[in-house]
Amino acid sequence: MLKKETLQINIYIVFFFATVALLYTLPIFHHINNWGIQDWDLHLVYNGVPRATILEYGQFPLWNPYFLGGSVMLAHPESQFLTPAFVLVLLFGEVVGLKISIWLHLAVGLLGSYALGRHYKLSRSAATMTAFVFMLNSMFALAFTVGMTWFLPVAYLPWAFLFYLKGFDNWRYALVSGFFLTMMFFTGAAYPLPITLLFFGVYGLMRVAFRDYSLLKLVRLLAIIVVFTVCLGAIKFFPSIEFSRTYPRTLYDYSGYSLNSLRFSLFSRDQSLEAIVNLPIEQPGFLNGVTAGMDENGIYIGLIPFALFVVGIGLRSKQRMVLFVTCLVFLWISFGNRPRAELWSLLHLVPFYKAMRIAQRFRIIFILCLAILAGFGFQTLRHYLFWRMPNRILARFVSLVILLVVLVDLMAVSWFVFKDAFSIPPLNVAKNETFYQILALSPYDKNGFITEDVANQNDPFTEFNRFHMFSSYGAVYPAFLGNLGTIDAVTSTPVPREAIPASAEDYPGEVYLKGTDGAVSINYWSPNRLAVEVNVSQTGYLALNQNYYSGWHVAGDVNRSVEEVDRRLGVKVYPDDKQIEIYYRPASFVLGVIVTLTTALLSLVFGGRLLWQTKPHLLRGDDAG
């Protein structure tokens, strides 16, 4: 009877947080087919290309011919099609599917934050406060407004941290933490995953410093988590590592909160994209100045959660002190280059973090620790109310009102942010029968493709930038819908762009011959595989108008390889050749599949054996009577 009642309560909690998540994201469903502004153009392609590759061509999405003149798809750090939520994209399309995915991930994050609070022995209402503060602050609304879908995997952070904490007492939970870290990476966690791993290390060292656990135990726990995560996610990790080593990205921008911008980001109820325009943009210094846009700074929580955070610090509690010190460490990293004694430059000495930009992105951990401590503060306040008020019903009512006030306040601020999201009606794009490369289409906004610029582009926030704040940062998505590849696309990865647009005078075609005469034509085209009919008079090269990258093979001929011709894909051809078929399947992907499947199989066997030992009556049908 107790188990049945607990299950019912859990179902109610799931339904509650799913409803809260739906209310929070309600504005993005108002015009459900509308496109988004800024980075949404690129992230719709990151989801649209895999969907088309799977549904139209029946292939695994390894290559993206629509981006930069040909680039990797699976290996791209922000690819998301391995996550279970990608089913929504397959079913409803990339526009609607991603909007539903935002709601789903928000619900998952709320549940995880609640479960994390309960692990810290918070009451149900206090754990709910933690969930509200972490998942409903303006950081998420701002990220999804401008198309930063790499914020989706932040929903797995509370779950990964929860089982990391459990792993200190039972190492088996480290495997569950690794599973959620893998889900983070599969959901495009280019930033959240390394930030989370740093969080685990810093938090663990704090526990070692407070003599909760030994350093050896921490190292063993982290090693298990990292090894299991890499092995389970090898299908993407191995190709991504290969891609990153081929085109290393080293960035170092001046960034970070000033004290004033942090105050504004935490407490100003105007978190809209334009809110930051009147602040001292790009001014250096620790006291004043703002770097990057509102989407990189906003973390509105309001005065009540911050007051609860202060109350919840609890200097006499080792558990809370570890959280508080960790909170301060990540806040200090978020200050970036601005303080004299900075951690941001020091962090960039570590190879894994050299490619990271915008120090404020580490606010994810700052807010998580703050939210947990706010939960402690709310629990302290509830105890005080029950002590001071003789009527327990009244005390419970007052605490519930406080919780609802925080919820309504967070939702109201985020709804105002979401008004700028998905404001672009779908463009009517005709699909070309044959694929070819173009330089780029014009960006677009709610009025269609942009044909004229506003004057004075040098001032960071003139009318020009206000205008383009609500437009796309490119037009890769409509080009993709038109079956066109965009060479001049926005990217932070130094990928060479050697393909030639069809508008160029020296455009050779999507396939052409080099060093020989004859005729060539595409017989079959798909993202990962192409078949070309050839008729040549002498030995030469067949070249394709896509960037060269290792991993391409010639079908049916192990002795012939895909070579680099004019820094593009090329194959040696002979007079007796009739058709050449090439396909993309890198060795890193094949090895990754083997490692991932082996790890998953061993995990299932291990989990089944553990379940057999702990719950034999459930598996064997024994009478538990």
**pLDDT tens-digit series, residues 474-510:** 999 999 999 999 999 888 788 889 999 999 999 999 9
Enter the tokens of residue 398: 């007052």
Mark 395-413 as b/e (b = at least 16 C-beta within 10 Å).
beeebeebbeebbebbbeb
Say which residues have a Cβ less than 8 Å from residue 437's Cβ, sequence separation at least 6: 69, 484, 485, 486, 487, 499, 500, 501, 502, 510, 545, 546
Q: What is the pLDDT of residue 252?
A: 63
Q: How many whole angstroms separate alpha carbon 342 and alpha carbon 305?
A: 27
- The DSSP call for residue 484 is E
Over 60: is that where the pLDDT of 92 sits?
yes
Closest CA to 167 of 154, 180, 151: 180
* Average pLDDT of the segment spanning 71-78: 94
- The 3-state DSSP composition of the chain as helix, strand, coil percent (nearest 5) reads 55, 10, 35
Per-residue pLDDT tens digits for 414-446: 999 998 889 999 999 999 999 999 999 999 999
Is the pLDDT at 618 greater than 70, yes or no? no
Q: Please, which pLDDT band fits residue 222 given cuts at 50, 70 and 90?
A: very high
In the numeric block, the tokens 């610090």 are attached to: 313
pTM over 0.85: yes
Distance, in Å, from the CA atom of 362 to the CA atom of 323, rounded to the nearest integer, reads: 15
The two structure tokens encoding residue 376? 């402690």
Helices (H), 389-429: 392-418
Query: Is residue 316 very low, low, confident or very high in pLDDT (cuts 50, 70, 90)?
Result: confident
CA nearest to 347, candidates 195, 233, 227? 195
Helix, strand or coil for residue 522?
strand
Both tokens assigned to 41: 């153009």
Looking at residue 556, its pLDDT comes to: 87
pLDDT score at 614? 60
Is residue 243 within 8 Å of residue 347, measured between CB atoms?
A: no
Rg (CA), the chain: 27
pLDDT band (50, 70, 90) for residue 353: confident
CB 547 within 8 A of CB 71: yes
User: Of all residues in the chain, what percent carry a pLDDT higher than 70?
Assistant: 93
Give me the domains of the chain, ranges plus CATH numbers: 2-30+74-418 (no CATH), 31-43+58-73+424-450+460-492 (no CATH), 511-584 (2.60.40)
Residue 179, pLDDT > 60, answer yes
Q: What is the mean predicted confidence (pLDDT) over 230-253?
A: 89
Mean per-residue pLDDT, 124-130: 96
Read off the pLDDT of each residue in 190-199 and give the average, rounded to a whole number: 93
Chain mean pLDDT for the chain: 90
Look at residue 620 and tell me whether its pLDDT is greater than 50: no
Q: Which residue has the tokens 């509830």?
A: 382
Residue 128: its pLDDT value, please? 97
Question: How confident is the model at residue 108, as a pLDDT?
Answer: 96
Lowest average pLDDT, out of 6-15, 25-34, 459-468, goes to: 459-468
Q: Residues 585-611: pLDDT tens digits? A: 999 999 999 999 999 999 988 877 766
Residue pLDDT, tens place only, 302-312: 999 999 999 99
CB-based contact 174:163 (threshold 8 Å) = yes
